[in-house]
Amino acid sequence: MAVLVPTAGKAAIAALIKAEADYLALGTGTTAEAAGDTTLGTEITDTGLARAQGTMSTQTTNVADDTSRATKTWTATGSKTVGESGLLTASSGGTLYVREVKSPTKSVTNGDTYTNTTDLVVS
């Protein structure tokens, strides 16, 4: 039997996600996302691009406040090629809520800024 999540339920779930998963991580991996992923392929832990708390908000994609959004801007202190990002529940370890492979990848060098926005839509 199929169930329906009503509009108010979608907003409530997005708000719960916003409160639970607020760390963004970048990585150099480019292997396709898979349902069994629990980490990024190769998480960046140096060069100013390490995992950090994002700015959280809810957005409207299909119905009011059905999307949890995490945004973070890093300033690079070295050179890396960003190939993936993830939304997680902790500053290390934690549960991976979202993994996204970037296409194309983005090279950053010392002094460059890199902004990542991750949206998780409850539908």
Summarised one tens digit per residue, pLDDT across range 27-38 is: 999 999 999 999
Summarised one tens digit per residue, pLDDT across range 14-62 is: 999 999 999 999 999 999 999 999 999 999 999 999 999 999 999 999 9
Give me the pLDDT at residue 45, please: 98
One DSSP character per residue, the chain reads ------HHHHHHHHHHHHHH--EEEEE---SPP-TT--S-SSB--STT---EEPEEEEE-SSSTT-EEEEEEEEE-SS-EEEEEEEEESSSSS--EEEEEEEEEEEEE-TT-EEEEEEEEE--
Summarised one tens digit per residue, pLDDT across range 97-107 is: 999 999 999 99
